[in-house]
Structure 1
């Protein structure tokens, strides 16, 4: 196969408006071939290319990154600008003037010359697109520049872009329009013109910079903004359709010695590639797949996301060239044929001009498995499907897309595998096991977990199923299968149970396919915001002053109350577990949970580590989860009850006429709206119900077991109340340590409110949210803001940061003694 490559002249010609041309016959033999009418819808004259949209988004992200980095690294940027200016001053004056003259004039001459050259080649539409981008760049840069210069909110940005120099524009309108024009006319595809235009742009920027008419950040922002406008214009107005029509596909097939007599466009494949059904002179048929160059980046954001999120063995290349895509599918097709698998034979490949390539397969009369009713999927058909997979596995071939539209059944009931483009040759064990998992899950969706596992065990064996069991994760499946699993969320667990019944002694190794989970991104973003707010607080308080001015008598009381909270947590857990638990080891578990809070939200970390501890004590998983759920449920009830109690006591100590503040009314309205939103929106309501059901399932029987023992009941409820009292005492002592004057009940209301906010925050240990809520609550309650901030910092030091080191020691010791 001749190499498919982009040619500058050919690319220029291909981007003109498509014209209707007569087929060209190169040889005498070609003249004898009858003309074939291709049944297909009219191809659009223009189309929006995904590549232009991606470049536009990338330019916007680059623009935001340039602005943020410039704002953060002001000193470095100023130093760099000074070095450039100093170096420019060393240039002889005459040479500098010549460069300024050439750059300033050529920045207009070069675009005009390129426009003339394009018009001469009858490519005026491209010039028109460039002019639209230039006008948008000119007007947009002017309007944004006026806003930056006049708006008080853009003070930092104005100082960054102009350096507060008189007469300096935030955006150079001429430079922005030239860059937008050059981008829109795709001058980058012409190496000579590309080098010329960027040379004159660099000369123009240098001359403007040395004459103090432009700053370095302004130059960078102007250029990137111009590129964004150019790509946005290209995507907005669309590009000429360069996809070869069906007649070009027929001509390419004739070059492969086929004699087509009919052709019609059929449904595109799952990746959006065109497909044609072609009838040949000898009565046979072909299924032709056309790979269009402009479709190679379709779905790129999703592929990039999967590539970043998944481990290296499971991910695929996000971007492939047209040539690489053609070779990949052809190689996989030939390898599957050599392995003896039942697949359509690949009969030929060819380029179709410079913008597409085709693969010609023999036509088989089949139906996709998705089109078969479940009643027709019998045990014999299931066995055939697994046999085909086993043939691929024996030759280390991974299909990677075993779904209902890639598994077909012919007229004689034989299984045929299609869609080899996603496959891998010389695949590793992980990819081969992923194929087993995908097929297991898809067939289980059709015939149930029991039949799916039983049919697989008869063909691939129980060992292969046991090896695939750790990979039964939603992330390992195709997008279609993951969507189908949303309707049957217990299916993966059912498949695991069936495999465990076949191989109960199998050793299960944990395999992590994800580098990170989406919730990790949320945690990172929330933690960053929390750290920002926390640092803002710290910048207003001198930590040395906080430590040296605190009353150490109150500080020691706060430290003692913090320690008591761990004992109270241990008593609470012991009280809701009918089985006997050693007190001090349980206390160590609570210290270990304080270490886990560094990487997990507070409620999540405590629940997970307590559940793990109970399981290690020999308590069945269901009972362990129920015990922890019971303690959390009672803790929630106690939390709400104490909040109402302390709020009532606080209110009764105030004046008889209570008028709620505007802030309190807004908070109450916000809480009401949140509750209505959660309960009124079905998806949110189902999510909340699911979380609560998973946490508190089997809780009632566990509570009944606890109520049968008065000692356990007293221990659990006493520990629950002691935790709240200990934390409130700690916070009250921290406020008193800095001379704050506030009632104990008011501190309790502030703590209980802030604790609820911190439990809902996705940050580790409620970091940031707890500090803001506590400081804000104390300030509203009448404590001086500086005293409130100092008290909160001391409180978090004693209850969150100080226990980390002993918590790590306890976590390590418990793991060493197999208690966790």
Structure 2
């Protein structure tokens, strides 16, 4: 610990402040420039011809006004060295030579880095990028002088000085114009050089750190004295959850203050997480990703004054002040309290729970949302009264959704401490059953604070228990579902996987003449393939009917299967069909548990049939046509590797428990449902025939597609190909197994002895008939079923 002396011999007890800091903002800017660099290169590669035409136009214009080009060349070449030197002299006169030294380090790194990168590109690495940056001329891919100048300007933070900033960027623009008109640099090279220079500058700033401009405790004391507080002691205490400094201040009259200091360089702390939440959540629930220091100060002060006016028990805000340009403070009256997190669960009685909810009710009456009702913001004073702290996260004039979020958050936190039943009962006694029913749809993990979400990992069923308690309290309540997320992480994974799959699919299509595929295919075999594709939908309907003891209309069930083909456009193959069928059964009056069990039973039997048929056809193929279908060594190694991976994964106890729990949830009620089906021989026959027909129909469709292009392969070999590729496609996270199914089918057909051109054409026709063609009737079926309330 160190002591810093303030006016009138007041010593501030605080840790010695570091002389240099690695600012999160510099790291964030470095990452941003790298992302911009990647986008610029990709766009430049795509728009290569446009850039070539633009370069020719500028060259022609420069030749029309040669004098102007020479003036720009002279001014740019001279000023690009003079301006940085002048800025360095000015900083040295102001005793800021350390900043100039940082700039020189960045300039040296920029020059060396751009030179080495240029030599690497000229050496034949990434030839397309070299041509893009040099125009296939004998010039530098990256201008070393410009890179070092930009890196220098970034590292000395010249952008914070408006006059120097305008002068510097005008100089850089003249330099680029001069070199561009002289064909010594290209447009992509100029942009990439500037971005690389900025990235090096920010990396240097973050690497060596920046001078610590945070005002010390003595400056805090001076600011408090300007607010007429007679400070006699000051001590730094633990920072708050957002990383803001806090001080315990003693006053001359014996009272105390709790002072929170907002540092400018901390404003971007945790910004990636806040940006992720801002993108992921709907606009009504998200918070601003970043605010200015002034805006943060005003926000917290306004919320504190509003809470006081509402009559809530909160520490009184006694004063606010800026501390120079780099920090601001808020001075609260000191109240001896302890956070609820430090209170044992046994001491949280019903009276204390009622007090907590009464304080929240006072805020809600005045439309104030606290936004952080956790154990570190709910305190108890010496008399056991509840005190709410941490007003910075709050919202004034809050909408209904934010107020309901507060109720959901507090319900969950207290349930973690005292149980769901007591939490709901205490809330209902104060807020009323209607308020809890309104908050019930918001009992979602995504709506809760990070600390609460972490605690829920140990009590996974708590939210469901809370909902059950609220429903028991108000069973007749009807509340609309609230969706807080714009998208889920798995949706993002699906989008990325779909992009990769589309790339794979397009690369396959580029090898095929689609017009030739359509015109050269044997129409008789193609018609047979179309019939087989249609039969697969009828078979799926029969399979579902067979596993549901209750009667289902055949053709409406067929329409449901077509509707699932439409849904597969946006969901993985194994997900869309299950969801649509389950929804359909529920609409037919079947209970949710029975509907899930029926669909689960069909999926389980389908899996058993799939494995059995794969083994059967593989045995037949191996015994009759072994020479025509011999798997490659690479395929065998891949299968062995997959088998080994499965064994290893299932050998890890946590993973094994996770898999078994998921399977138990999916197939937990399957056995009773299967016993119901076994009691009806007709249902057993319908289920078995439907399950078998699905596989046979798809195999027949693929066989007809191969035959349509003159491919010679046995039906059993096609069955092995289909069953293997379908397993891979079902595991793929892309919609309908897009990309994975095509690749697996083509590779398997080639391994079976089908020529690559025939295999690719056959798979293209097969996917057209089974995946793309049913989309339009699937959409019509989906719309029809929704209109008639069958989905």
Q: Gaps (5+ residues) in structure 2?
A: none
After superposition, the CA RMSD in angstroms is 1.6
- CA distance in structure 1 between the aligned counterparts of 2:64 and 2:273, rounded to whole angstroms: 50
- Once the two structures are superposed, residues 259-291 of structure 1 have per-residue CA deviations (whole angstroms, 9 ceiling, x without a partner) of 121111111111000011111111111111000
The 5 Å alignment of 1:163-182 reads: 163-165=135-137, 167-182=138-153
- CA distance in structure 2 between the aligned counterparts of 1:372 and 1:349, rounded to whole angstroms: 31
In structure 1, the residue matched to 2:780 is 809
- CA distance in structure 1 between the aligned counterparts of 2:187 and 2:3, rounded to whole angstroms: 50
The 5 Å alignment of 1:187-336 reads: 187-336=158-307
The 5 Å alignment of 1:638-787 reads: 638-655=609-626, 661-682=632-653, 684-787=655-758
The 5 Å alignment of 1:287-436 reads: 287-436=258-407
Give 1:685 shift: 3.5
- Please, which moves more after superposition, 262-271 or 80-89? 80-89
- CA distance in structure 2 between the aligned counterparts of 1:169 and 1:231, rounded to whole angstroms: 23
- Once the two structures are superposed, residues 60-84 of structure 1 have per-residue CA deviations (whole angstroms, 9 ceiling, x without a partner) of 0000010000011112222222232
- Please, which moves more after superposition, 668-677 or 750-759? 668-677
- CA distance in structure 2 between the aligned counterparts of 1:79 and 1:666, rounded to whole angstroms: 51
- CA distance in structure 1 between the aligned counterparts of 2:94 and 2:638, rounded to whole angstroms: 67
Give 1:86 shift: 2.6
- CA distance in structure 2 between the aligned counterparts of 1:440 and 1:428, rounded to whole angstroms: 19
- CA distance in structure 2 between the aligned counterparts of 1:811 and 1:804, rounded to whole angstroms: 10
The answer to whether the 8 A contact 2:380-2:387 is kept is: yes
In structure 2, the residue matched to 1:162 is 134
The 5 Å alignment of 1:543-562 reads: 543-562=514-533
**Partner residue of 1:581 out of 524, 542, 552:** 552
- Please, which moves more after superposition, 370-379 or 639-648? 639-648
**Partner residue of 1:131 out of 99, 104, 123:** 104
- CA distance in structure 2 between the aligned counterparts of 1:362 and 1:420, rounded to whole angstroms: 14
Give 1:686 shift: 4.1
Give 1:327 shift: 0.3
- Once the two structures are superposed, residues 737-795 of structure 1 have per-residue CA deviations (whole angstroms, 9 ceiling, x without a partner) of 00001111111111111111111111111111111111111112111111111111111
- CA distance in structure 2 between the aligned counterparts of 1:790 and 1:717, rounded to whole angstroms: 33
In structure 2, the residue matched to 1:151 is 124
- CA distance in structure 2 between the aligned counterparts of 1:144 and 1:684, rounded to whole angstroms: 44
Distance 1:433 1:488, change over 3 A: same
The answer to whether the 8 A contact 2:244-2:266 is kept is: yes
- Please, which moves more after superposition, 337-346 or 760-769? 760-769
How many residue pairs match? The answer is 790
- CA distance in structure 2 between the aligned counterparts of 1:22 and 1:811, rounded to whole angstroms: 75
Secondary structure at the aligned position of 2:176 is classed as helix
- Once the two structures are superposed, residues 696-751 of structure 1 have per-residue CA deviations (whole angstroms, 9 ceiling, x without a partner) of 12111111221222221221122111111110000000000000011111111111
Give 1:808 shift: 1.3
- CA distance in structure 1 between the aligned counterparts of 2:131 and 2:628, rounded to whole angstroms: 52
Give 1:654 shift: 4.0
The answer to whether the 8 A contact 2:512-2:757 is kept is: yes
Matched, 1:48 2:19: no
Distance 1:684 1:420, change over 3 A: same
Give 1:21 shift: 9.0
Give 1:687 shift: 3.9
- TM-score, normalised by the number of residues in structure 1: 0.94
The 5 Å alignment of 1:77-116 reads: 77-91=51-65, 93-116=66-89
Give 1:479 shift: 1.0
- CA distance in structure 2 between the aligned counterparts of 1:455 and 1:326, rounded to whole angstroms: 35
Distance 1:501 1:807, change over 3 A: same
**Partner residue of 1:117 out of 90, 113, 118:** 90
- TM-score, normalised by the number of residues in structure 2: 0.98
**Partner residue of 1:522 out of 490, 493, 506:** 493
The 5 Å alignment of 1:589-600 reads: 589-600=560-571
Give 1:665 shift: 3.0
- Once the two structures are superposed, residues 369-426 of structure 1 have per-residue CA deviations (whole angstroms, 9 ceiling, x without a partner) of 1111111111000000000000000000000000010001111111100000000000
- Once the two structures are superposed, residues 463-499 of structure 1 have per-residue CA deviations (whole angstroms, 9 ceiling, x without a partner) of 1111111111111111111111111111111111111
- Once the two structures are superposed, residues 342-374 of structure 1 have per-residue CA deviations (whole angstroms, 9 ceiling, x without a partner) of 000001111112111000101111111111111
**Partner residue of 1:498 out of 465, 469, 480:** 469
Secondary structure at the aligned position of 2:262 is classed as strand
Secondary structure at the aligned position of 1:455 is classed as helix
The answer to whether the 8 A contact 2:29-2:202 is kept is: yes
- Please, which moves more after superposition, 704-713 or 462-471? 704-713
- CA distance in structure 2 between the aligned counterparts of 1:682 and 1:275, rounded to whole angstroms: 45
The 5 Å alignment of 1:9-28 reads: 23=6
- Once the two structures are superposed, residues 90-115 of structure 1 have per-residue CA deviations (whole angstroms, 9 ceiling, x without a partner) of 32x23322221221122112112211
**Partner residue of 1:58 out of 32, 53, 69:** 32
Matched, 1:37 2:28: no
The answer to whether the 8 A contact 2:630-2:752 is kept is: no
Distance 1:174 1:669, change over 3 A: farther
Secondary structure at the aligned position of 2:392 is classed as coil
Give 1:642 shift: 1.2
**Partner residue of 2:50 out of 76, 85, 91:** 76
- Once the two structures are superposed, residues 222-259 of structure 1 have per-residue CA deviations (whole angstroms, 9 ceiling, x without a partner) of 10000000001000110011111111111111111111
Secondary structure at the aligned position of 1:501 is classed as helix
Give 1:684 shift: 4.0
- CA distance in structure 2 between the aligned counterparts of 1:796 and 1:813, rounded to whole angstroms: 25
In structure 1, the residue matched to 2:115 is 142
Secondary structure at the aligned position of 1:416 is classed as strand
Give 1:22 shift: 6.8
Secondary structure at the aligned position of 1:671 is classed as helix
Distance 1:230 1:788, change over 3 A: same
Q: Gaps (5+ residues) in structure 1?
A: 1-18, 26-33
Moved over 6 A (4+): 19-22, 656-659
Secondary structure at the aligned position of 1:421 is classed as helix
Give 1:20 shift: 11
- Please, which moves more after superposition, 193-202 or 603-612? 193-202
- CA distance in structure 2 between the aligned counterparts of 1:121 and 1:810, rounded to whole angstroms: 76
The answer to whether the 8 A contact 2:278-2:287 is kept is: yes
- CA distance in structure 2 between the aligned counterparts of 1:367 and 1:677, rounded to whole angstroms: 48
- CA distance in structure 2 between the aligned counterparts of 1:559 and 1:659, rounded to whole angstroms: 30
- CA distance in structure 2 between the aligned counterparts of 1:273 and 1:347, rounded to whole angstroms: 18
